[in-house]
Amino acid sequence: MSVANAAHSVVEPSAGTRRFAGLLVILYAIITMIPLVWIVLTSFKSPDDAISYPPKILFKPSLEGYCNLFTTRSRQTPEFIQTLGPPQGLCDSIARSRNMVVAGPSNYVPRFVNSLIIAFGSTVLAVALGTLSAYGFSRFRVPLKDDLLFFILSTRMMPPIAVAIPIYLMYRTVGLSDTRLGMILLYTSVNVSLAVWLLKGFIDEVPREYEEAAMIDGYTRFQAFVKVVLPQATTGIAATAIFCLIFAWNEYAFAVLLTSGNAQTAPPFIPIIIGEGGQDWPAVAAGTTFFLVPIVVFTVLLRKHLLRGITFGAVRK
Amino acid sequence: MNDLSAPSQITYRAVPVRPAVARRIRGLSDQALAWLFITPTIVLLLAINIFPLMWTIYLSFTNFRANRANAPTIWLGTDWYQSILTDPDIWAAMQVTAHFVIWTVLIETVLGFGLALLIDKKFRGHGMWTTIILLPMMLSPAVVGNFWTFLYQPQIGLFNYVVAFFTGRDASSFQMLGDVTLSPWAIVIVDAWMWTPYVMLICLAGLRSIPDYIYEAAEVDRASNWRQFWSITLPMALPFIMLAVLFRGIENFKMFDMVNLLTGGGPGSTTEVASITLKRAAFESWRTGYSSAFAIILFVTVFGLANIYVKALNRVKNR
């Protein structure tokens, strides 16, 4: 590496260096992936395989984890099960082979739906508010602009638990406790700071001249914003939206402290999936896998914007 | 970006009517529009962030308990602050937090910077492998904490099996989450697994921001690789590394979700970081006034430390 190869620029690493670096990174990536892969594998194991020792890498795939995730079962005597008609569907037959009958749907689906509603609701609100504010900060002379922007950023530094008590009291007073609307408003307020900072960066990059040209053509300022700036900033808005979505999707502290049932999201629920005789690991793993899929998709979609999003746009790549 | 848009600027600047037209269109309505755009956000933040914070400050001076809201509220002054700052248990929790923050940030910085150096070599397929490495930090800390409890199970967990396989120990002879000396490290391992990619990403941005010509000049001067690393790479990437340390430091100082799920503060209080203490006081013993005071102390601490650090960061940047 020290001697510059004539064919390459001096800063270009040699082929050997590259291969060595690649090998180390791939090794790290594989080690990183093992826990994730293990959870996905566990979700396809039967409860017996999941807790066998030594851990089984080869196993007979089973959908029992997913069945247990989406249904609740109760143990019955073999005699009682004999009296029932033929099993209805796969989950029922799996349950009956363990002397159980499907008693009904589990709480996972409502929790998952809560996660969806709260995450999307707060994202739409945060991005809408954030876009307006970001445009305001980007284009107009706002008094105390820097102070306001810093104030918006600083709200994100607070530990969630520090404000959880008064929010709990406040929500109890106005009837928002354990409601989806309450959680949507709360996550919006947490996300809006990120949205403003990120979107300000993206909108700053749209040349002002575009709007000025539009206004010369007779558009009002607002029309120019809607018809010229918004389309130009679409990618940025989409990236911001996904960051907000991921935050709201992953949030746990507020969810566990402020919701108990009605508005509970999936993150506080997944750990408390208990099967008969202890933690039902395949069901927990299934719930986790299900929950992780959207995030994995978004990560791949977002990889170009990741750096900006996680650093409040403070660092650009 | 700015260079690319330069030609269009010239085009529009050349239109002679522009200043007059622009003035007519802007006028008063622009200022009104600006406030119209910004106010909703400010109002929301005041309602759901600042108002609760003010309320926390007020509660921290009273004996209020959230589970006995109808009891008369007595103004206590700074009693809670005094009792917290002289409480050895609180200092123990702060010490646990400090250990946790120092170790995780140290490990993540070293590993993350190392990885960034490697990825910066642009080997074939580096984009794909980088995306894979970035996955853990996008996940929910709570869910991550939960599935690591499974990996840490002494009898059935993969982690214990792998460690036992390589060290020859009995897998059920050590409990990562139940052992007084091991459990803090169990949390550090998970945090490093999850957040090293974050540091890596920021460091990578730092490395990419170093212009090639500096290395070319160093090469002409026949500076050794080692010398180039110490006099170019590290100093130029330092502001970025410090930024990563700042972000990780703040986040880990308030870490709650992962610790709550992995150990819940136990065994005993060996992993009881400040947020866990706070949660116990606020939502288990319902000592609202006391926990409010503790929350304010934590907030001031993190704000103060962050400010000192940002000053140092700016000094490095302006060097």
Q: What is the pLDDT of residues B140-196, one digit of tens each?
A: 999 999 989 999 988 888 999 999 989 988 888 889 999 999 999 999 999 999 999
> Cα–Cα distance between B207 and B266 in angstroms, integer?
40
Amino acid at B35: W
Q: What is the pLDDT of residue A30?
A: 95
For residues A28 and A274, the answer to whether their CB atoms sit within 8 Å is no
> Cα–Cα distance between A104 and A67 in angstroms, integer?
11
**What is the b/e burial string over A286-301, where b = at least 16 CB atoms within 10 angstroms of the residue's CB?**
bbbbbbbebbeebbee
Query: Which of chain B's residues have a Cβ under 8 Å away from the Cβ of A11?
Result: 212, 215-216, 219
- Position B259 confidence tier, pLDDT thresholds 50, 70, 90: very high
For residues B96 and B271, the answer to whether their CB atoms sit within 8 Å is yes
Min Cα–Cα distance to chain B from A38, Å: 8
> Cα–Cα distance between A195 and A131 in angstroms, integer?
7
Nearest CA in chain B to A125: B41
Inter-chain residue contact A50 with B299, CB threshold 8 Å: no
Nearest to B66 among A50, A168, A310 (CB): A168
Query: Which of chain A's residues have a Cβ under 8 Å away from the Cβ of B296?
Result: 162
Biggest alpha carbon distance in chain A? 84
Query: Which of chain B's residues have a Cβ under 8 Å away from the Cβ of A53?
Result: 155-156, 161, 171
Question: Which residues touch A71 (CB under 8 Å, ≥6 apart)?
Answer: A91, A95, A102, A103, A104, A105, A106
Q: What is the pLDDT of residue B32?
A: 83
Q: What is the pLDDT of residue B17?
A: 46
Nearest CA in chain A to B43: A189
Q: Which pair of tokens denotes residue B1?
A: 């970006």
State the pTM of this model.
0.87
Inter-chain residue contact B205 with A4, CB threshold 8 Å: no
Query: Which of chain B's residues have a Cβ under 8 Å away from the Cβ of A310?
Result: 137, 198, 201, 247
Inter-chain residue contact A18 with B121, CB threshold 8 Å: yes
Nearest to B215 among A10, A222, A291 (CB): A10
Min Cα–Cα distance to chain A from B142, Å: 6
317 residues of chain A, pLDDT tens digit each: 444 444 445 667 888 889 999 999 999 999 999 999 999 999 999 888 888 878 888 888 989 899 989 988 888 888 888 888 888 888 888 888 888 888 888 899 999 999 999 999 999 999 999 999 999 999 988 888 888 888 887 777 778 887 888 898 899 889 999 999 999 999 999 999 999 999 999 999 999 999 889 989 888 888 889 999 999 999 999 999 999 999 999 999 999 999 988 999 999 999 888 877 778 899 999 999 999 999 889 888 888 888 888 887 777 65
Nearest CA in chain A to B303: A157
Nearest CA in chain A to B8: A209
B15 pLDDT exceeds 50?
no
Picking from A165, A127, A163, the residue whose alpha carbon sits closest to that of residue A248 is A127
Q: What is the pLDDT of residue A148?
A: 87
**What is the b/e burial string over A199-219, where b = at least 16 CB atoms within 10 angstroms of the residue's CB?**
bbbbbbebbebbbbbbbbeeb
Sign of CA dihedral A6, A7, A12, A16: negative
Q: Which pair of tokens denotes residue A244?
A: 């907000």
> Cα–Cα distance between A253 and A163 in angstroms, integer?
11
CB-CB neighbours of B262 under 10 Å: 25
> Cα–Cα distance between B114 and B108 in angstroms, integer?
10
Min Cα–Cα distance to chain B from A263, Å: 17
Percent above pLDDT 70 for chain B? 91
The per-residue DSSP string of A286-312 comes to HHHHHHHHHHHHHHHHHTTTHHHHHTT
Picking from B102, B33, B66, B197, the residue whose alpha carbon sits closest to that of residue A310 is B197
Query: Which of chain B's residues have a Cβ under 8 Å away from the Cβ of A55?
Result: 156-158, 161
Picking from A42, A101, A115, A51, the residue whose alpha carbon sits closest to that of residue A71 is A101
Min Cα–Cα distance to chain A from B212, Å: 7
Q: What is the pLDDT of residue B302?
A: 87
- Position B5 confidence tier, pLDDT thresholds 50, 70, 90: very low
> Cα–Cα distance between A21 and A17 in angstroms, integer?
6
Q: What is the pLDDT of residue A11?
A: 67
Q: What is the pLDDT of residue A182?
A: 95
Average pLDDT over residues B62-88: 89
Collapse the DSSP code of A61 into the 3-class scheme (helix H, G, I; strand E, B; otherwise coil) and give the result. coil
B21 pLDDT exceeds 80?
no
Collapse the DSSP code of A69 into the 3-class scheme (helix H, G, I; strand E, B; otherwise coil) and give the result. helix
Q: What is the pLDDT of residue A102?
A: 87
> Cα–Cα distance between B40 and B49 in angstroms, integer?
14
Q: What is the pLDDT of residue B71?
A: 82
Q: Which pair of tokens denotes residue A178?
A: 């354990």
